[in-house]
Amino acid sequence: MKTKIIKSLNWIGLGFLEPLILLVSGEEPRKNAMLILRNVFLPLASIVAFILLWEAGAHQLRSIEAERKIQKVLTEQGAAAAEQMRACIASGEKECKPHSLPSPSEVYEAYQSLLADHKMIAKDKKEFTEKTAKVNKQRIENGQAEILYTGRPSFIDQIGTSLKTVFAGVLLAMCIAIPIGILLGLSETLRSSINWLIQIMKPVSPVVWLLLVSMVIKTLMTDSSMDKSFLIAFISVGLCGMWATLVNTTMGVSSVDKDYINVAKVLRLSVWKNIFKIVLPSSFPLIFTGIRITVSVSWMVLIAIELLAQSPGLGSFVWEQFQNGANDSNAKILVAMFVIGGIGFLLDKIMMTLQKVLTF
C-alpha cells in the first residue's frame, strides 16, 4: 500500500511528499525528518520570506510615492493643501492612495473583487439565458441565429479563453511540426536543404508572426462581421511555439537506432508501418520533450499576442487594467501575473506527468 502511494505521488509530481509517507510508517525517522525539513518546510519558509519582503518593498515604494505627491501639491497649491493631502493619504482613502507596488493584502482584495465580479456576471448570464431560452428555441426552429449574451467577460472567462487559445495553438503546432519533423528526420538531404529556413524562422518575434497572420487572415476572410481575433491569436501562438517540437521531432527521428531501420527493411515493412511501429516509438521521448517546450513557449507568448490581437483573454485583461488606471488596477495586474505563472507551472507539471505515463 505504501509503495503504491509513493509511486502515485511520483507520477503526479508530488514526489517531495515521499519522506512524509516514510516518516509516518516509521522508516529512518531522522533521515526522513531532514528531508521533510528541506523539501517542505524550507520552501514554505521561503514563501513567507518572499511575502514579508514584498510587503516591506511595497510599503517603502508607497512612502516614496506619497512623499512625491505631497511635494507636488506643496509646490503647486501651497502648504495647507499639502497638509490636507498628507492627512488624506494617512487616512487610507482610495482617491489619495499612491499608485505604486500593491501589498500582498491589496492583491488578495483584488482577487476577491475579481471573484465577486465573476459571480455577478455569471448570474447575469444565467438570467439572460433563462429569459431568452424560449425565443432562442423558436429562432433555431426557424433557422435563425440564437441571441447571444454580449456582456463583458469576467476574469475567469478570460482565463478560459486564454486556455482555449493556447490549446488550439499547441494542437496546430503539433499538426504542423510532427509530420514535417518526421519527413526531415527520415531524409538527410531534405533536412540539410530546409535547415536554413528553420534556423531563420525559429527566433522570429511573436509580434512579427502576429502581424503576418493578421495580414493573411484579413485578406482571406473579408466578412467584417466575423470575429477574427481568436483565429489570429491561436494561429500566431501555434507558429511561435512549433519550432521546439519540429527540431526535437527531427532529432528524434534522425537518431533512431540504425539496427531498427535495418530490421524494418528485412521485414519489408511499408513506409507507414515503419513510421508507426519503429520510428515514432523510438523517437517519442524527444518528440514529447519538444511538445512540452512548445506548451511553455505558447503560454509565454500568448499574453503578448492576445494583447495585440485584442482577443478577450488574459493579455487583453492586463492591458485593460494598465490603461484603466483605477486604484486597484495594479493589484489586479499582479493577480493576473500570479494566475499566469501558476497556470504555466501547472501546464508544465501536467506535461511532465503525461510524459511519464506515455513513455512508461
Residue-wise pLDDT tens digits, 77-117: 888 877 887 787 777 677 777 778 888 988 999 999 999 99
Q: Tell me, what's the pLDDT at 29? A: 65
Q: Tell me, what's the pLDDT at 27? A: 63
Q: Tell me, what's the pLDDT at 342? A: 93
Per the CB < 8 A criterion, the answer to whether 232 and 210 are in contact is yes
Average pLDDT, integer, range 209-232: 82
The CA–CA distances, whole Å, from 208 to 177, 215, 296, 317 equal: 19, 11, 19, 22
Per the CB < 8 A criterion, the answer to whether 252 and 185 are in contact is yes
Q: Which three cell numbers stand for residue 100?
A: 505604486
Residue written as cell 488550439?
168
Residue written as cell 539496427?
259
User: Which of 248, 252, 244, 246 lies closest to 280 in space, CA to CA?
Assistant: 252
Average pLDDT, integer, range 172-189: 91
For the ranges 27-31, 111-115, 327-331, 340-344, the lowest mean pLDDT is seen at 27-31
Per the CB < 8 A criterion, the answer to whether 190 and 314 are in contact is no
CA gap 96, 86 in Å, rounded? 9
Say yes or no to pLDDT of 31 above 70: no
Q: Tell me, what's the pLDDT at 321? A: 87
User: Which of 299, 320, 325 lies closest to 154 in space, CA to CA?
Assistant: 320
Average pLDDT, integer, range 323-339: 86
Say yes or no to pLDDT of 125 above 80: yes
Q: Tell me, what's the pLDDT at 181? A: 92
Q: Tell me, what's the pLDDT at 108? A: 92
Say yes or no to pLDDT of 46 above 70: yes
Say yes or no to pLDDT of 2 above 60: no
Average pLDDT, the chain: 82
Report the Cα–Cα distance between both ends of the chain, in Å, rounded. 21
For the ranges 278-287, 307-316, 350-359, the lowest mean pLDDT is seen at 350-359
- Of 140-154, 326-340, 344-358, where does the model show the most confidence? 326-340
- Of 54-68, 172-186, 226-240, where does the model show the most confidence? 172-186
Q: Tell me, what's the pLDDT at 329? A: 86
Per the CB < 8 A criterion, the answer to whether 6 and 21 are in contact is yes
Q: Tell me, what's the pLDDT at 84? A: 81
Q: Tell me, what's the pLDDT at 245? A: 93
User: Which of 242, 208, 237, 235 lies closest to 303 in space, CA to CA?
Assistant: 237
Per the CB < 8 A criterion, the answer to whether 297 and 240 are in contact is yes
User: Which of 158, 165, 350 lies closest to 241 in space, CA to CA?
Assistant: 165
Average pLDDT, integer, range 356-360: 68
pLDDT, tens digit, for every residue of 242-257? Answer: 999 999 999 988 887 7
Q: Tell me, what's the pLDDT at 150? A: 77
Say yes or no to pLDDT of 286 above 70: yes
Average pLDDT, integer, range 139-146: 76
Work out the pLDDT band at 168, boundaries 50, 70, 90. Answer: very high
Length of the chain in residues, anyone? 360
Per the CB < 8 A criterion, the answer to whether 18 and 9 are in contact is yes
Secondary structure letter of residue 255 according to DSSP: T
